[in-house]
Amino acid sequence: MVQTATALLACGRAETARRALVYLACTQQVDGGFAQNFWIDGTPYWSGKQLDEVAFPVILAWRLWKAGGLGELHMFPFVERAAGFLVRHAPITHQERWEENAGYSPSTLAAVIGGLICAAEIARAHESDELGEFLEEFADWIEGHLEDWTVTNNGVLDKDVKRHYMRIRPPECGEAYAHESCGKETIHLQNRPPGTRTEFEAREIIDAGFLELVRYGVRRADDPLIADSLKVVDAVLQRELPQGPGWLRYNFDGYGQRPDGGPYEGWGQGRVWPMLTGERAHRELAAGNDISALIKTYEQFASCGQLLPEQVWDEDDRPERSLKKGKPAGSAVPLVWAHAEYLKLLRSAVDGKVFDRIDPVFDRYCEQEGRKKCRRGVEIYSHMRPIQRMDAGSTLRILDEGLFEVTWSDDGWKTVNRTMSRGLGSAGFSADVRPADGSTELEWTMRWTESDTWLGYNVKVKIVSEKVEAPST
């Protein structure tokens, strides 16, 4: 819905986009999040939690604010609750944009970073500087870990490219949404044909979701890691069609027409998504390249009624099934998401700049002066991601939903320190603990002051002198 509203905003229809935002504000859940999908009255249908779907409405609110299109809508309470949800749940999403897997997703984290920076600007505009700074620092923390969390250093898809983004990295044991095979860096793929493999190493699966980092301004289009990852995407996912290049969602995808052209009925074979040509065109535009051919390709994927499908048939024609190479397969027609991407692409082409780019995000993470403002040296602990190690010289920021006091020691309890948490509205409460230089372990517990209840155990965090990255995959 936000993609559609943003496309209408790109067409100058701020009033329609504002109505969409009002509807989203009315269907926002008490905890600040949104249901994976829901009926018109807001009643949830499926039960997934997708962090990008919480970040997108915040970004839409920011865009309308900057465009002077909010009218009399007071958006801050809505934005503050959504930002709080992101803080309490990020960086691990229950589902990424394909609504299938949990973990660390480049596309999801791109949206989360964008949403947090937008929320921080809005907070500062409403005289909530402390919250604004906290949200910026939370975004900085995610941005500073992107490569650790979402990149393989030992790729197997292209012999010439060992380091590239993955589609998603699963949660570690003890983290939110960890599955039974946690610790093995494997993901389960849905919709696979009967009798075929369903478990894959994370490094074996790639999609182009990392391009969302370019879209929102988290990474430059010419970033070497982006370029190398695209080499893998093109080697594994690109298909040449009569209309031009097209791309699959990800390798080993089972969502699409069956190999014989039969309908998808619980399993099949993923086909080319026209929308992904639009996403690639946005990256090429950001890189300063001519995208006219990609726009033409995108348009030629449409049906005779000029509707853009979810997927197109990417093999030789099958007249007996009315399937023609490069034309709509048996998937949804139209896919409104594809139409929204097309409209935004046209606006981007006219402007010579990606319409979806969030300038304060780009300025903060892609410009040298902006990067100087980023807060480094903070590691975050929450019940969603209970870390066991931190870098020497860093501050441990402990988050919780209730007011608490931390009791801690960095010298084996020879000395005891206490730190009170501070309130941050919907984001909960936060306490910073800075171990002394030379300490090798931080041990702490916490007491919720309002109920006078203790955590009941001590948490030990090892302090390492050199940065330890996520396990190599």
Residue 19 parent element (H or E) = helix 14-27
Spatial distance between the Cα atoms of 123 and 141, rounded to a whole number of angstroms = 19
Backbone angles phi, psi at 133, to 5 degrees: -65, -40
Residues 6+ away with beta carbon under 8 Å from 145: 91
Contact criterion met (CB below 8 Å) for 237 and 248: yes
Spatial distance between the Cα atoms of 256 and 443, rounded to a whole number of angstroms = 51
Packed helices 2-10 and 14-27: angle between N→C axes, nearest 10 degrees: 160
End-to-end CA, the chain: 35
Spatial distance between the Cα atoms of 12 and 6, rounded to a whole number of angstroms = 10
| Active site positions, annotated | 96, 99
The two tokens of residue 307 are 């509707």
Nearest to 161 by CA among 229, 208, 220: 229
Burial of 29 (0-12, 13-18, 19+ CB in 10 A): middle
CB atoms near residue 267 (< 10 Å): 15
Residue 58 parent element (H or E) = helix 51-66
- Looking up tokens 């690109």 gives 238
Strands 453-454 and 164-165, how do they pair? unpaired
Cis omega (within 30 of 0) on the bond before 193?
A: no
- Looking up tokens 């919907």 gives 426
Burial of 348 (0-12, 13-18, 19+ CB in 10 A): buried
Q: For the chain, state the CA radius of gyration.
A: 23
Instruction: Detail the DSSP E strand segments found in 50-155.
Output: 151-152
DSSP state of 422: E
